[in-house]
Amino acid sequence: MSELHHECGLAAVYHLPGSETSPLCPPQGAEHAARLIPRILLDVQNRGQLSAGMTSYDPGREQLLDTYRGLGSVTEVFRLSHRGKAESILDRYSGRAAIGHVRYATCGQDDLNYAQPFERHHLQKHKWFSFAFNGQLANYAELRDKLLADDEHHLSRDTDTEIIMHEISRELSGDRRPALVEVMRNVARRFDGAYCLVLLNALGEMVIARDPWGFRPLCYAIEGPLLAAASESVALLNLGFSNESIHSLEPGHMISVSSGKITIEKFAESSRRAHCFFEWIYFANVASSMDDRSVYLARKALGEELARLEDVPAGDGDTIVVPVPDTSKCAADAMAYHLGIPSAEGLIRNRYSGRTFIEGTGTRANKASAKYTPLREVLEGKRVLLVEDSIVRSTTMRVLISRMRKVGRAREIHVRVACPPIVAPCFYGIDMSTVSELFASRFMVPGKSQDEVFAEMARDLGADSLRYLPVNAIGRAIDRPADELCRACITGSYPTAHGEQLYKIAMTNAGSPADCKSSENRASRTYEAPVVRS
């Protein structure tokens, strides 16, 4: 799953004005609450390493809103390994309120112009705002075309973020002073897809909002005068908030800070929930809880599901379970425990190999070889049950199996995937938007049995056998009703109308030269590949 990446992570913090000071604030005091943003971003770094940034608000500063962004990890951007330089940055961008962002590109270019937050300057303070966004709009193309239909409009970036910025600006245009909830209510009527966002304006007002489907997680905590929000609960826990004060923001709801008061209210009706199941399987930190379900317990349950399906002889003393580091470890350990066999670290991950998925040179195979080292001392002569959280494009898995045989000298390798086959693209913020790039989709031929399909997949990968979890295991493991999860990538059934439309385009384009080219280009999306008809 090192082949698959999420788009972004969010952070927000606000210390309400007044005499009371939160003990969670930095030593410098409430007026420096913005200094907490890099700490929060470090704990959501798993959601994006391409860029990081923050916008702070300080009513005593001439630049009421001030934005700092850079390419690289949080540590690199905020110079956290250099005390003097880090202090200089944090002092300059200090304030009682701030929002932050880390990014991985599912679309758009890898340059500073795409780093968030996006700030829009204006003479009127309520129209001067900065915001950051996590997700992907399925109706991006429609919104883009409507904006560009007017010759007076121009888009400088190929990104949903700029679309959202213009839609919010439209709501603030003219002489009206709409309430924050009205702004969100109106833009929500035009959005189809995944969007969590944080916004801060030059009046010192803040918005923290989650889309009506709840695709992406968004957590918040309030203790005394301090409000904080992040894409994952672990960031708030490590900041010092108690477990009892940390909550998931309900879909279609927003938190607003205005006139020194915090308000939580609904801005959009939720026709259904569509929490991305991949959050629990792979993306989220194992220490997080989202929508009342622990990530650790969900992954543990996935391993138990694998154990119940296992039929490879395991009582000979030569069979071991090996996880693909790191997100598969919970499932692998649980599987091994229930089978009564050892779980061993037969693959060691090089944690200092760099952000391989944003490097501009080298093949995926070369990067995978550099990232994982097989241990012969663990693998030699063993029958290995190799546990992976998912197989998307298969490049990493092929490299691992080959190296485990050649370098590790494993006797047998049986791949066990703690997820059903990925057969359809994602249009809600994960970087797989074409059918051609998906390993499993080309094996799913009508008329073939599951055993035949899995056997063909195993031969193609170079494994002795292969097994995936069934679709219905996902709801059981996450402990949420199936109709509250987005499972589009494993079922081909999408929770929004524009998602369904894009899937039809993807299936029409599947296998075409345009689709194959698009699948190799992270800057492209399904709907940007022209439909090829015979």
From the number of C-beta atoms within 10 Å of its C-beta (0-12, 13-18, 19+), residue 44 rates as buried
Burial of 14: CB neighbours in 10 Å, binned 0-12, 13-18, 19+: buried
10's enclosing H/E stretch is: strand 8-15
Query: What is the CATH architecture of 296-481?
Result: 3-Layer(aba) Sandwich (3.40)
91: Cβ contacts below 8 Å, ≥ 6 apart: none
Question: In the prediction, which pLDDT does 33 show?
Answer: 96
| Amino acid in the structure at residue 137 | L
> What Rg value do the Cα atoms of the chain yield, rounded?
24
Q: State the chain's maximal CA–CA distance in angstroms.
A: 78
- Spell out where 324-441 has E strands: 347-349, 372-374, 383-388, 412-417
The pLDDT, as a whole number, for residue 526 is 59
> Quick check: is 8 catalytic?
yes
- Along the 534 residues of the chain, how does pLDDT read in single tens digits? 445 555 699 999 999 998 688 899 998 899 999 999 999 999 999 999 899 999 999 999 999 999 999 999 999 999 999 999 999 999 999 999 999 999 986 554 567 888 999 999 999 999 999 999 999 999 999 999 998 987 787 888 888 999 999 999 999 999 989 999 999 999 999 999 999 999 999 999 999 999 999 999 999 999 999 999 999 999 999 999 999 999 999 999 999 999 999 999 999 998 899 999 999 999 999 999 999 999 999 999 999 999 999 999 887 889 999 999 988 999 999 999 999 999 999 999 987 765 443 343 445 567 677 789 999 999 999 999 999 999 999 999 999 999 999 999 999 999 999 999 999 999 998 888 789 889 999 998 888 999 999 999 999 999 999 999 999 999 999 999 999 999 999 999 999 999 999 999 999 988 765 555 444 554 455 555 443 332
What's the CA gap between 32 and 14, in Å, rounded?
10
Q: Which distant-in-sequence residues (6+ apart) come within 8 Å of 220 by Cβ?
A: 208, 227, 228, 229, 230, 236, 246, 247, 249, 255
Residue 323 corresponds to which tokens in the numbers above?
A: 């996880």
Contact 46, 109 (CB under 8 A): no
Token digits of residue 168 = 């919010």
Can you tell me the distance from the alpha carbon of 336 to that of 188, in angstroms, rounded to the nearest whole number? 46
Q: Angle 384-387-390 (CA atoms, 0-180°, nearest 5)?
A: 145
DSSP for 182-251 reads HHHHHHHTT--EEEEEEEEETTS-EEEEE-TT--S--EEEEETTEEEEESSHHHHHHHT--GGGEEEPPT
**How far, in Å, CA of 289 to CA of 234, rounded?**
8
Domain boundaries, the chain: 8-271, 296-481
CATH 3.60.20.10 applies to domain 8-271: yes
| Integer Cα distance of 426 and 357 in angstroms | 18
Q: Quick one: which of 500, 503, 504, 527 has its CA closest to 515?
A: 527
Residue 184: HSE in the Cβ half-sphere, 13 Å Cα cutoff: 28
Shortest CA distance to 342 belongs to which of 369, 376, 359, 318? 318
